[in-house]
Amino acid sequence: MILGLEHGATESEIKRAYRRLARRYHPDINPGDRTAEARFRQILEAYETLIDPERRSRYDSGSPIAGGDGRRTSGFEGFDFSGRGGDHAATFGDLFAEVFTSRGEQRPAAERGVDLHHTLALSFEAAFNGTQRTVTVTRRETCRTCAGTGVTRVSTGACLVCQGAGSVRTVRGHMVFTRSCPGCGGGGQQRPRPCEPCAGTGHQTRAESVAVRIPPGVADGEGIRVAGKGNAGQRGGEAGDLYITVQVTPHPLYHREGDDLFITVPIAVHEAALGARIDVPTPDGGAKVRVPPGTQSGQRFRLRERGAASTRDGRRGDLVVEVKLVLPRLLDERSKELLREFGRINGENVRESFGE
C-alpha cells in the first residue's frame, strides 16, 4: 500500500498519511527530483482513490478504477507538468490550505441578545398604587424585510461564475484542482442578494414604545424586568430583556423603610395629657388613632397593613405613626394663669433623674 495504511483505514487516517507523505515528496520541496515527482503522483492517486467512497469500493473489490466523477467540491484532479511556474506556481501552503478546507463547517452558535436598561421616574402615589407607563427605547430588532436572514430572495438561475457547475478549476504550477465556486458556494445556483434595509445584518435599530406595568408598592431603586424587549439575538438567538429602574419622588409626609411607612403627627398638650382620638392621613384615606392619656412626645402607634404592598408576595406593611408634642402659643394672660395653676397642682420634677 503506497500510503502505508491497513485495510479499513478511516478517512482521518488516510488524510494524516497523505499529509505526512506529501510533505516529504511534494515537488515544491524536491524541485527537479523526478523520482520524488513520480512518487508524489502515486501518493496523490492513492489518496484520491481511498478518500472517494465509490472509488474505494471499486478498489477494495478489485474492479478497474476510473477517474473521479466530479462530485467532490474540493480536491486535486491531477497534475500539469508543462513547466509553468514562477509567481503562479502553487506553494506547499497553498496545497494544504485548499485541499483540506473543512467540509460542512459548523454554523456559529446562536447568541442571546444584549439586555437594555432604562430609568423611570414615578410619583409616590403612582409607585404606591401601581400604574402603567410607556417608555421609548432604542433597540435592535429582527429585520422585518428579510425576517433576520440578511438576504432577499431572487429568481433562481444558474450561477454566473461557474455556469451552474458548482465548482471552478484552478491551475497553479504543475497542479490542476477544483474547489467550490465562490459565487454560489458550490450550489450551482445564484445566491440571494443581501437585504438592503438591514445591509445584510438581519437586524435594524428602531425606537419602540414599550408598555410597562408597574406593580403596587414598587420601591425607589427597584428594578422591573420586561422580557424580550432587549436587543434581538444573533443567528436566531433569543432577544435580551429590558430592565426598568424606578426612581420614586419623595413624599412630604411619608418616608418608607422596607414595606412600612412612617409619618409624624403633631398633637396638642391637652390631647397628650388627657388622651384623644386624632385624625391621621394614610395613603388609603383618613384614619383614626387613639392617643391614650399621658402620651409622650415621640411615642409611636402602629396601623396594621396600612403600608406599602410587597412586590414579592403582595402583603402590605404597616403605617407607623409617631406623635410630636406641640406647645400652645401663649396669647393671653388667662392661658398663662391656667398653666401656672397646672404647674402648682402638678409640681413633679420631670428632670429629677436626668443626667444620673
Q: What is the CATH number of the domain that holds 264?
A: 2.60.260.20
79-93, 201-215, 305-319, 331-345: segment of lowest average pLDDT:
79-93
Shared domain for 76 and 180, answered yes or no, is: yes
Q: What is the pLDDT of residue 90?
A: 37
Percent of the chain beyond pLDDT 90?
40
For residue 128, which of 264, 3, 253 has the smallest C-alpha distance?
Answer: 253
**Cα 19 to Cα 8: distance, rounded to the nearest angstrom:** 18
pLDDT, position 328 = 82
Provide the sign of the torsion angle of the four alpha carbons 118, 122, 126, 128, taken in this order: positive
Predicted pLDDT of residue 216: 96
**pTM passes above 0.85:** no
Is residue 350 one of the residues assigned to a domain? no
Residue 111 falls inside a structural domain: no
16 vs 250: which has the higher pLDDT = 250
- On whether both 289 and 234 belong to a single domain, the answer is no
Domain co-membership, 123 together with 11:
no
Q: Please indicate, yes or no, whether residues 77 and 65 belong to a single structural domain of this protein.
A: no
Q: Which three cell numbers stand for residue 249?
A: 419622588
Whether 294 maps to a domain, the answer reads yes
Does residue 79 carry a pLDDT above 80? no
Q: Please indicate, yes or no, whether residues 133 and 231 belong to a single structural domain of this protein.
A: yes
Look up residue 150 and give its DSSP letter: S
Where residue 352 falls among pLDDT bands split at 50, 70, 90? confident
Domain-terminating residue out of 248, 265, 288: 248
> What's the pLDDT tens digit per position in 266-312?
999 999 999 999 999 999 999 999 999 999 999 999 999 999 999 99
Four-CA torsion 170, 176, 180, 184, nearest 10 degrees? 30
Report the number of distinct structural domains present in the chain: 4
Q: What is d(CA 27, CA 94) in angstroms, rounded to the nearest whole number?
A: 13
pLDDT at 103 over 50: no
Q: What is the largest CA-CA distance in the chain?
A: 134
CA distances to 43, 60, 267, 285, 300 from 290, rounded to whole Å, are: 104, 104, 12, 17, 11
Say whether both 286 and 330 belong to one domain.
Answer: yes
Residue 107 has pLDDT above 60, yes or no: no
The arithmetic mean of pLDDT across residues 188-196, rounded, is: 78
Judgement on whether residues 131 and 231 belong to the same structural domain of the protein? yes
Q: What average pLDDT score do residues 242-266 get?
A: 96
CATH of the domain at 3: 1.10.287.110
Say whether both 235 and 324 belong to one domain: no
Q: Answer yes or no: is 157 within a domain.
A: no
Rounded alpha-carbon distances, angstroms, from residue 182 to 9, 149, 163, 167, 188: 32, 20, 12, 8, 10
In a domain, 108, yes or no: no
- Higher per-residue confidence, 31 vs 326: 326
Flag whether pLDDT at 88 surpasses 50: no
- The more confidently predicted of residues 297 and 62 is 297
227 and 139 in a common domain: yes
pLDDT beyond 50 at 180? yes
pLDDT interval class at 54 (50, 70, 90): confident
Closest CA relative to residue 288, chosen from 274, 278, 298: 278
Distance between CA atoms of residues 180 and 146, nearest Å: 26
Residues 120 and 243 in one domain: yes
pLDDT for 241 equals: 96
Q: Are residues 261 and 233 in the same domain?
A: no
The span from the CA of 208 to the CA of 210, in Å, is 6
Quick check: 84 pLDDT over 50?
no
Look at residue 284 and tell me if it is in a domain. Answer: yes
- Same domain for 167 and 133? no
> What confidence score (pLDDT) does residue 331 get?
76
State which residues form the domain around 272: 255-344
**Does some domain include residue 352?**
no
What number is the average pLDDT over the span 337-348?
86
If you average pLDDT over every residue of the chain, what do you get?
81
Let me know if residue 282 belongs to a domain: yes
Amino acid at 38: A
pLDDT tier at 99, thresholds 50, 70, 90: very low
Confidence category of residue 164, pLDDT binned at 50, 70, 90: confident
